[in-house]
Amino acid sequence: MKYVIEPGGRLSGDHRVPGDKSMSHRAVMLGALAQGTTEVSGFLEGEDALATIAAFRSMGVPIEGPVDGQLTVSGVGLSGLTPPSGPVDLGNAGTGMRLFAGILAGQPFDSELVGDVSLMKRPMGRVIEPLTKMGAVIAAESGGTPPLLIKGGQPLRGVHYDLPMASAQVKSCVLLAGLYARGRTSVTEPAPTRDHTERMLRGFGYTVDHVNGVIGLDGGGELTGTQIDIPADVSSAAFLMVGASIAPGSDVVLRHVGMNPTRVGVINILTLMGADITVLEPRDVGGEPVADLRIRYAGLRGIDIPEDEVPLAIDEFPALFIAAACAEGTTTLRGASELRVKESDRIAAMAEGLNTLGIDNQPTPDGIIIEGGRLGGGAVNTYHDHRIAMAFAMAGLCATQTIEILDCDHVATSFPGFAELAARAGLKLVAYP
């Protein structure tokens, strides 16, 4: 699939983007490992989250749905999973693979984790290292890439692990393995990262401590089925936030957006750039803060992005790079080396696309310097990355020529219906199979 975006337009209307991908993964995982039934609403019916459902079904977990975001998981308990008949295929889901590694490290049976071409190139050493310290036995390709062969029946022991870089996926992997470990498992993170795992574990009745930057739990407990209402994904909302901020005349409302304080870096950064974002009706839903957001056009200015905001916006930087390209002046990003090992090397992929559109930029090992300017047009390669595709789609709002975005199939991993919603909001986008 490819997108063709004609220049111009503005965003308007009242919209709700799909459910949060991170929370959708975790809701299924913890629901499967709980005793009793878990009812989920707002579930993201994207390919990544559906792969997590398929994986648990292959290990004997009854799951009904999803239908219109509604899902019922009949949990089998922490010790109730059964051996899959073959490799567990997680498609494009890096989150899924890293979190499953923690869960499967504590099982009595052998397992193998695989994925699509993109996922099979992503580094998994960052979870293999702490799991090995806990007693897991995991084999991978040279360089730590999948497939991951996980040996069953290994007694895990609780450890304390200092995360070498801020990563919610690694933190969550270690905590999930800690459910199966003897004694206490804890992690220290160098900067705050999304805390959906900790919040959701508590929602399932499991005690998780967070004291002086150390997050820990004791093994041997039990999860209890519950009800979960998943808010709209702020990572998906980010594209429309940026689009409305850069297109003159835009005025858009986004409903029921997750406002977890570990995820609002994109709002903080856009506000620093001069964006006009109003938070409406902040409220708490199932332990997670949510709100409606109104975004109106504002002339953005380039900034030095504060490094303490980087972990809070790590998935939103492709969209933020487009904001920087449309801003007046220079935007500088540092401390974001994590972007090099996402679904693509997002720094390199975005730099290449910005060059195609005539925007001066200078990639660095851990960031990029972007000079705001006038966007042209051309063909952009997404490198199989859903967020690259959606970011450059929004660039069309400020472009002077047509933008053609190649290889957009992976958009469905996180934002099914993106092309239709974006066109309905006012983006001049046509999707071609």
- Say if residues 277 and 267 touch (Cβ distance below 8 Å): yes
Q: Is 315 a catalytic residue?
A: yes
Are residues 217 and 69 part of one domain? yes
Strand, helix or coil for residue 355: helix
Number of domains in the chain: 2
Residues 185 and 294 in one domain: no
* Whether residue 243 sits in one domain with residue 154: no
Q: Report the 10 Å Cβ neighbour count for 249.
A: 12
Same domain, 72 and 197: yes
Residue 260 and residue 288 in contact, taking contact as beta carbons nearer than 8 Å: yes
Alpha-carbon distances, residue 391 vs 174, 282, 293 (angstroms): 32, 27, 19
Final residue before a domain boundary, out of 168, 200, 229: 229
- Domain identity same for 125 and 95: yes
Are residues 297 and 225 part of one domain?
A: no
Percentage helix, strand, coil, to 5, in the chain? 35, 25, 40
Q: Is 182 helix (H, G, I), strand (E, B) or coil?
A: strand
Are 168 and 291 in a shared domain?
no
Select which of 315, 345, 360, 409 is catalytic: 315
* Same domain (yes/no): 72, 160: yes
Same domain, 225 and 265: no
Same domain as 199, residue 71: yes
Q: Where residue 97 sits, what CATH number does that domain have?
A: 3.65.10.10
Residues with Cβ within 8 Å of 67's Cβ and at least 6 positions away in sequence, in order, are none
pLDDT tens string, the chain, 433 residues long: the values are 999 999 999 999 999 999 999 999 999 999 999 999 999 999 999 999 999 999 999 999 999 999 999 999 999 999 999 999 999 999 999 999 999 999 999 999 999 999 999 899 999 999 999 999 999 999 999 999 999 999 999 999 999 999 999 899 999 999 999 999 999 999 999 988 999 999 999 999 999 999 988 999 999 999 999 999 999 999 999 999 999 999 999 999 999 999 999 999 999 999 999 999 999 999 998 789 999 999 999 999 999 999 999 999 999 999 999 999 999 999 999 999 999 999 999 999 999 999 999 999 999 999 999 999 999 999 999 999 999 999 999 999 999 999 999 999 999 999 999 999 999 999 999 999 9
Structural domain that includes position 182? 21-229
Domain end among 229, 262, 289: 229
Domain co-membership, 276 together with 381:
yes
Structure-block tokens of residue 424 = 């309905």
Which of 180, 201, 229 is a domain's end point? 229
Whether residues 8 and 83 share a domain: the answer is no
State both tokens at 85: 């008949």
Coil vs helix vs strand at 419: helix
